[in-house]
Chains A and B, each alone.
Chain A
């Protein structure tokens, strides 16, 4: 088993599949009255969050607690440069406290890679800047697999601000490892110039929808408007938002995903978000199972 999960590139197909299979076993637990496993009793998992993200933090917290780990929440808001101690000093502190795993969310890309140099335990990337969010990709893959029965050969459209999206980066890597075919869609300003050959690029959402099994909408921050990535929220929504007429262009079986939090009315219409096609709430539930599987396997749970 790998020691750290810093990037979806750390996962080969076998490892990723093992995580998804393990997550399915974990999910079976949540139907029981007692949801707890003793697997990580006596182990310490630190949630080191430099960015506010209640949903991701409680998802990891729930995952660790269901495995009986001791959980320490370390909220280190604000940059390590402007105030407070450096990431390295924080790492040494966590090391001294005997952290077996550190789950890190940070606004700087690559912070988990730096952290892994300074702690002996496992490092799990819970989102780093505009780099990656590998457990999100795993829960997305898990959701696709449980809804559609497979990943190999699936056609997945990832729509929106790919340039700044850590969710998109991790999904492109993981989905291509697992045999899915990814097309990224968005205005050219929000698609990186030198995208990997692991994904196709399209600027035309309407053309891509009829041939998609999955359409994953990314959150688009309205701040991007001020920086001239697109002229207005209205124009963005008109060209790249998923509304009801566009939903009808999808094949019958296709699902709609969103990593949340959503801008209803911007990249996704409320009727679409709440439709039976949408897996948005399911994704949240699957997040706990997948993160249980990751912690269990990284920490060699038994």
Chain B
């Protein structure tokens, strides 16, 4: 199928005609191309999420690779990296290949599995990282996300070991002893609510240690869901010294604060927790100035019963794929080059996903892109989401931007704001 995107604005530039044929951007008119009136629409390289929970295998009642892929495509994504904390854990070539195959079958986004760093996420013994790297899933990011690789020796070894196949360790930075029983950000609100605090220093201490370890062994490090102003300063200093560290921030940490816990509605429970206004401001500045490289959703679907309960018993996490771009638009406005870099180009580079985050003005670039109508304001309705779960913290919020179409290697996955399959 060939397409002509008529009058489209590539990254906010003057309207132009964009042809898609044979899976790539074409600089020549193509006969018989389906014409899409793209006047007023902005073309972005397809978004890439380096941090998604698809829950399959194990919790298909919360999300499947198929439903998660649909949510991703509707959110403008063409690739997502599926976290390893499934059941069974994605700590073998067999499991990562299963997830990879399920992603191909769904066919809506490229599903790139992330492998666990340690067997069973238990933090004791290194998983067969090489086997996962050389499997059909071609794993390059390894993470025990949900758990921190807290053992410094094991973290050092993992950082070193993956150099052999240009892998990267994505660390969930949380000092476990400092966060025993933790329920929310430690501060005035946690004291008032009587919920055990998750101190900022528990994140900052691990990031500080890990950048020093990465520097020592000359490895790449990726820091998941940075949430505090102090972490930003640790990263800023490390980057200034030339440490090969990249970092992500979630849409919710760019927008929401710990005050939202006041009603004890666990839809606002997430790990790392929502922080303070001061942290939100620091994270926004860090994304602008590049200390934080990417926006990653940490899309974390949960079944109703895992959220409709007491705060302390609820699972942490929130949906993100379908609202990420609108939130980034609402926070930063139509800074299209920034959005393209932080949500597509840089994440594709970190994940080693060739063909994503390409230059849409160049003929021959794989046609992974999304079309956004920035003029539309939409109210988030949980019932309308494609995810199997409903745990969005944005219900009822009015957010800018509508994803009109998404293309994966030249094939439409979303048209007129609806998934094609």
| Alpha-carbon gap, A270 to B62, bound state (A) | 56
Known: A86-B305, A109-B264, A130-B196. A114 touches B191 (CB 8 A): no
A86 touches B308 (CB 8 A): yes
| Alpha-carbon gap, A166 to B264, bound state (A) | 16
A113 touches B263 (CB 8 A): yes
| Alpha-carbon gap, A60 to B277, bound state (A) | 41
Q: Chain A 113-145 against B: per-residue CB contact (8 Å), 1 yes, 0 no?
A: 110000000000000111110000000000000
Residue of A nearest to B266 (CB): A114
| Alpha-carbon gap, A169 to B190, bound state (A) | 12
A128 touches B194 (CB 8 A): yes
A86 touches B309 (CB 8 A): yes
**Is B145 in the interface zone, CB < 8 Å from A?**
no
A194 touches B187 (CB 8 A): yes
B264 touches A113 (CB 8 A): yes
Q: Which residues of A contact B190 (CB under 8 A)?
A: 194
B188 touches A114 (CB 8 A): no
Q: Which residues of A contact B308 (CB under 8 A)?
A: 86, 88
Residue of A nearest to B311 (CB): A110
| Alpha-carbon gap, A197 to B235, bound state (A) | 33
A195 touches B310 (CB 8 A): no
B263 touches A109 (CB 8 A): no
**Is B365 in the interface zone, CB < 8 Å from A?**
no
**Is B288 in the interface zone, CB < 8 Å from A?**
no
B186 touches A193 (CB 8 A): yes
B186 touches A81 (CB 8 A): no
| Alpha-carbon gap, A289 to B197, bound state (A) | 36
Q: Which residues of B contact A88 (CB under 8 A)?
A: 308-309
A109 touches B191 (CB 8 A): no
**Is A196 in the interface zone, CB < 8 Å from B?**
yes
Interface residues of A in 199-256 (CB under 8 A from B): none
| Alpha-carbon gap, A128 to B194, bound state (A) | 9
Interface residues of B in 160-190 (CB under 8 A from A): 183, 186-188, 190
Known: A113-B264, A194-B187. A81 touches B195 (CB 8 A): no
Q: Which residues of A contact B196 (CB under 8 A)?
A: 130
Partner of A87, one of B193, B197, B309: B309
Partner of B310, one of A111, A193, A194: A111
| Alpha-carbon gap, A86 to B308, bound state (A) | 9
| Alpha-carbon gap, A177 to B63, bound state (A) | 47
Q: Which residues of B contact A111 (CB under 8 A)?
A: 264, 310
Partner of A169, one of B194, B310, B311: B194
Q: Chain B 249-275 against A: per-residue CB contact (8 Å), 1 yes, 0 no?
A: 000000000000001100000000000
| Alpha-carbon gap, A88 to B197, bound state (A) | 25
A81 touches B194 (CB 8 A): no
B305 touches A108 (CB 8 A): no
| Alpha-carbon gap, A177 to B215, bound state (A) | 54
B188 touches A109 (CB 8 A): no
Which bracket fits the contact residues of B? Answer: 20 to 34
Distance in Å: Cβ of B197 to nearest Cβ of chain A: 8
| Alpha-carbon gap, A129 to B195, bound state (A) | 8
| Alpha-carbon gap, A249 to B303, bound state (A) | 58
Q: Which residues of A contact B312 (CB under 8 A)?
A: 108-110, 129
Which bracket fits the contact residues of A? Answer: 20 to 34
B309 touches A196 (CB 8 A): no
Distance in Å: Cβ of B51 to nearest Cβ of chain A: 27
Interface residues of B in 188-241 (CB under 8 A from A): 188, 190-197
Q: Which residues of B contact A192 (CB under 8 A)?
A: 191
B188 touches A196 (CB 8 A): yes
B310 touches A87 (CB 8 A): yes
Of A87, A108, A132, chain B has the most CB atoms within 10 Å of the CB of A108
Partner of B194, one of A109, A114, A194, A196: A109
A109 touches B313 (CB 8 A): no
| Alpha-carbon gap, A282 to B188, bound state (A) | 34
Q: Which residues of A contact B263 (CB under 8 A)?
A: 113
Of B190, B193, B196, B310, chain A has the most CB atoms within 10 Å of the CB of B310
**Is A79 in the interface zone, CB < 8 Å from B?**
yes
B310 touches A110 (CB 8 A): yes
**Is A80 in the interface zone, CB < 8 Å from B?**
yes
A109 touches B195 (CB 8 A): yes
| Alpha-carbon gap, A79 to B187, bound state (A) | 27
Q: Which residues of A contact B197 (CB under 8 A)?
A: 193
Partner of B313, one of A108, A132, A166, A194: A108
B310 touches A132 (CB 8 A): no
Q: Which residues of B contact A128 (CB under 8 A)?
A: 194
| Alpha-carbon gap, A132 to B193, bound state (A) | 8
Distance in Å: Cβ of A245 to nearest Cβ of chain B: 32
B191 touches A194 (CB 8 A): yes
Residue of A nearest to B183 (CB): A109
**Is A106 in the interface zone, CB < 8 Å from B?**
yes
Q: Which residues of B contact A79 (CB under 8 A)?
A: 313
A110 touches B309 (CB 8 A): no
| Alpha-carbon gap, A190 to B192, bound state (A) | 15
| Alpha-carbon gap, A143 to B192, bound state (A) | 24
| Alpha-carbon gap, A194 to B193, bound state (A) | 12
| Alpha-carbon gap, A169 to B194, bound state (A) | 8
B192 touches A196 (CB 8 A): yes
User: Could you show 26 A-B contacts with beta carbons less than 8 Å apart?
Assistant: A80-B313, A81-B313, A86-B305, A86-B308, A86-B309, A87-B309, A88-B308, A109-B183, A109-B311, A109-B312, A110-B193, A110-B194, A110-B311, A113-B264, A128-B194, A129-B195, A129-B312, A131-B193, A131-B194, A169-B192, A192-B191, A193-B187, A194-B186, A194-B188, A194-B190, A196-B191
A residues engaging B (CB < 8 A)? Answer: 79-81, 86-88, 106, 108-111, 113-114, 128-132, 166, 169, 192-196
B residues engaging A (CB < 8 A)? Answer: 183, 186-188, 190-197, 263-264, 305, 308-313
The 8 A-B residue pairs with the shortest CB-CB distance in the complex, in nearest-first order: A131-B194, A110-B264, A108-B310, A130-B194, A192-B191, A109-B194, A194-B188, A108-B312
Contacts A110-B264, A194-B187 supplied; 8 other A-B pairs, CB < 8 Å:
A80-B309, A108-B313, A109-B183, A113-B263, A114-B264, A131-B195, A132-B194, A195-B191
